[in-house]
Amino acid sequence: MSFLTPIFLLGGLAVALPVLFHLIRRTTRRRTPFSSLMFLTASPPRLTQRSRLEHILLLLLRCAVVCLLALAFARPFFRKAVPDTSVSAARRVVVLVDTSASMRRANLWTAAREQAQSIVRRAAPADQVAVFTFDRQVNPVVSFEQWTAAGPGGRVALVNGKLAALSPGWSATHLGQALIQAAETLADAGGKQALGPGQIVLISDLQEGSRLEPLQGYEWPKNVRVSVQPLKSRPGSNAALQLVSESDEAAPQAGAAIRVRVTNAADSRRDQFRVGWAQPDGRGFAGTPTEVYVPPGQSRVVPLALPQAAGPARYAGPERILLQGDDEDFDNTVFVVPPETQRLSVLYCGSGSEKDPAQPLYFLRRAFQETRRQAVQVVIRQPGADAGRSPALPALSAADLESPTLFVVTDPLPEALAGALRSQVAAGKTALFVLRSGAPANTLATMLGLQRIAVEEASLKDYAILGEIEFRHPLFAPFADPRFNDFSRIHFWKHRRLDAGSIPSARPLAKFDSGDAALVEVPVGRGRVLILTSGWQPEDSQFALSTKFVPLLYAMLEQSGAPAPLPTQHHVGDIIPITPAGLGDKSGAVVFAPDGSRFELPAGEASFSRTMTPGIYTLASAGVARRFAVNLDAAESRTAPLPADELERLGVPLAPQETAVAREAQLKVRLQDAELEDRQRLWRLCLIAALGVLLAETWVAARITV
Amino acid sequence: MSIRNLELRARVVVEGFWSGLHRSPYHGFSVEFTEYRQYSPDDDPRYLDWRVFARSDRYFIKKFEEETNLRCYVLADRSRSMAYGSTGCTKAEYAATLAATLAYFLYMQGDAVGVLTFDEENRDYLPARHRTGHLRQVMLALEKPALGRGTSLAAPLERIVEMVRRRSLMMLISDFLAPIGRLESDLLALSACGHEVIVFQVLDPAELDLSFQEPAMFEDAESGRTLFIDPRSARKEYQRKLEAHCQSLRTACQRLGIACERLTTDRPLELALFGFLRQRMQHKRGPRRMARSKVGL
């Protein structure tokens, strides 16, 4: 027998009352009216020493009434086995375990593993479970096939063994991408087999820095729900350290400070931190740290002066910055490799003064400004018949052609030098011929291996503008955007007509509105020759004064085969592009990780992706060692918990929590019980019995009184 | 007490001992001149002496010394304690019959009869008169049920002293089951005014011997207070206290020369009354008897 409201059975304790009343000698309730009590004093009640109960039958009847009433109020019923109508279909479950850097916080990983193991243990034999981990990317730990192959007996051991070998990494959390991938895995598995609804069990700390953007445009598959199992970290303070990136275009400054941003989490309890350069082993400050006050939820930028011994160009001093004062250490170190300035040279072969604003050299010299990233040196040489005429300008020699990758030729070159230049260009460099006049036509012909090239002065009535530009070419690709592709404001007063058709494999990149070629590209070996049929000086055109001039020159420089500078700051998991150290560098590179491991990159490998831990990496290729720093993603330090509703807002259908499911099941049982009780209505029988016993008690009591 | 009508009951009682007294009522009434007094407004013009007015042309009131029969006041206790009765007749009924009997008897003699009922305060008051229908009003006042929530013996005595200036016969009928602390002083005041006072204490036999057997919750008739009383254990003490109380009442009356008669409701009224009258007859003409009383009360 079960009870709908068993609490009322406690009312049965009231059975003690009749027993008590029967033990107490009852004082008379009969009242005798009397004229005056002024001569009477109250008689003390007579206490008898009887311990035996009086009127046992009456007592039993009264006790029975109390018990029956308590029973009736407890709503008794006989529980019958109710067949479960809900057929439990086999589920497809993907357990997504977060292994991002924020999971390195104390006790989070242990809790995550326990939760995953608990889910696996509770899985029904027919269920299909896969376990994935995710940070920047999703890594399968146990696939559906492995789960099926393991059999019901070995599944738990399989998952436990795989999970035991895992630990959180240093990567950022790309939660949106991981959810999409898991959902698609479930959708694919559901298509193959007739299985029940799919479920993704997300075990994560759900930190604010989880990237959910990919979910915005994603259409979530039907029958796939996400059950969030948020992990709660130990309450404490967390402050993060990030490097403030400097602009590459900024001018280099001697003794510039490194700026770091200290961000304090919104739920932190502390606000005083210390920041400073760390010892080489990272265990303490190298000097006196800077005290920083950062209220919770705010951030401060702290400049840290570079040590005197080192300069921005070749930095060999401390390479990590340390933060102390919070409870979580995983985001307290920043590795620093100051960017190295790349030094390039451009050879100008022509006459003219760099101080004369009517000369092309004047504008070329000012186009290449030195930045933190690049320092371009314009080397001026005077070729041909004019060599040595101006004492300020040295004559061009073959040795001058070795190091530059971009040659700007405005004057005719001697035959020998023209041949030397051709061999350099054929090796992959770029020569820009600026046809200020028809004079360099012979040199150009030599360069291109032709007998002669016809160059004549074009007759312009007023001016010419660029009418047709090949924006798909890498040189003009940066101008392809409609905001920048207006070249019609550049007026050309003079230009030379070049018959591009007579030059084999010549490709006009830009044409004047008259149809004459303005810029022609001719490949020579691995390099190229660019022919500009007009000068950029004010006498010929407005080109040097336009906004297109400098970007176009830099584009030519980049295309000239000069080694691109290697960015020095990366995040964990970033794919590092490997640029060759120089022309002709065909050998493979070697990357040394901070933990001492060495990765051999085969020749032709364009990237390095195994940046798994923060630290300073060294890329060695062609005898040149270049260093770059890999740091924790800044978003990973945003450890404040993300509300699960945010997922729902992005269209992720959330499954009810385990507690809610249990509550629902409990409610269902209660409803069934209530229905059974309502059908049986045993309380009525109890109440009728109680009334019957009450009548009997009244009759017995009356008999005793009489 | 089986006769419901109080007047009839009183008549039966009176006739029972009337023949035994062999006395005839005295119907004398005289007016004796005492003095003249100058007329003042509000004086009854009936008493103007027109002869003096004719002679002196001035108004004079002729004053007489009134000479009447006996004036008798019955002071009857109507508190709830009087409503108690264990013999089929309550003390109130017994006292009312007693008062009615005496009133009827005196009325038949031609005496003026007044009544004052009281409980915790004074209730009905009828001045002593001898008029047609007055006796009926007296009976009606006596017939009212005893509903008083207390007994104040001082209130009626003070009231009667204030109201009645001429010497009268005062018959105080009560069970005196109330503190009698001031009773002696009030009775003294009454006597000092020249009134003759007779005290009748009416008690129920159960009050005298507490003739209950089972312990029970005893409820005070007036205050409603209840006490658990085991009569067997409480009887002795009760009787001692009651007797002491009655004795103090008797002593007080004795000191003042006031007749105090205890009547129990189980005793026939005519017999009790007859015994009382006989006893009174033997002490006739006591020092404080009223001079003009014609009957042996």
pLDDT value of position B283: 62
Match 């016993």 to its residue by tokens.
A693
Residues of B in contact with A29 (CB under 8 A): 217
Strand order across the A299-304 sheet? A239-243, A258-264, A299-304
Written as six digits, the tokens of A232 are: 């709660």
pLDDT value of position B29: 37
Match 């939820």 to its residue by tokens.
A297
Contact A33 B219 (CB under 8 A): yes
**pLDDT < 50 regions, chain A:** 48-49, 85-87, 309-315, 583
Residues of A in contact with B147 (CB under 8 A): none
Contact A42 B229 (CB under 8 A): yes
pLDDT value of position B294: 38
| Strands annotated E in A212-355 | 224-230, 239-243, 258-264, 272-277, 290-293, 299-304, 320-324, 333-335, 342-349
Closest CA to B203 of B99, B297, B87, B115: B87
pLDDT value of position A442: 83
Burial of B167 (0-12, 13-18, 19+ CB in 10 A): middle
Closest CA to A230 of A203, A208, A256, A248: A203
Closest CA to B126 of B109, B140, B146: B140
Q: Residue B138, CB half-sphere, CA atoms under 13 Å: how many?
A: 32
Q: Is A41 touching B (CB cutoff 8 A)? A: yes
Mutation target for B interface from A25, A30, A34, A38: give the one with most B CBs within 10 A.
A34
Task: List Cα–Cα distances, A552 to A426, A493, B130, in angstroms.
Answer: 22, 20, 151
Contact A35 B233 (CB under 8 A): no
The 3-state DSSP class for residue A600 equals: strand
Q: Is A34 touching B (CB cutoff 8 A)? A: yes
Alpha helices in A351-414 (DSSP H): 360-367
pLDDT value of position B292: 38
Residues of A in contact with B177 (CB under 8 A): 35-36, 38
Rounded Cα distance between A423 and A417, Å, is: 10
Q: Computed from CA positions of residues A161, A167, A169, A175, in that sequence, does the dihedral angle turn out positive or negative?
A: positive
Rounded Cα distance between A536 and A539, Å, is: 8
Contact A28 B175 (CB under 8 A): no
The domains found in chain B, sorted by start residue, are 6-23+69-282 (3.40.50.410), 30-67 (no CATH)
Count other C-beta atoms under 10 Å from residue A429's C-beta: 25
B138: amino acid identity, one letter: V
Q: Is B226 touching A (CB cutoff 8 A)? A: yes
Mutation target for A interface from B230, B245, B248: give the one with most A CBs within 10 A.
B230
**pLDDT < 50 regions, chain B:** 19-31, 67, 285-297
Match 């006996």 to its residue by tokens.
B70
Q: Computed from CA positions of residues A607, A611, A614, A618, in that sequence, does the dihedral angle turn out positive or negative?
A: negative
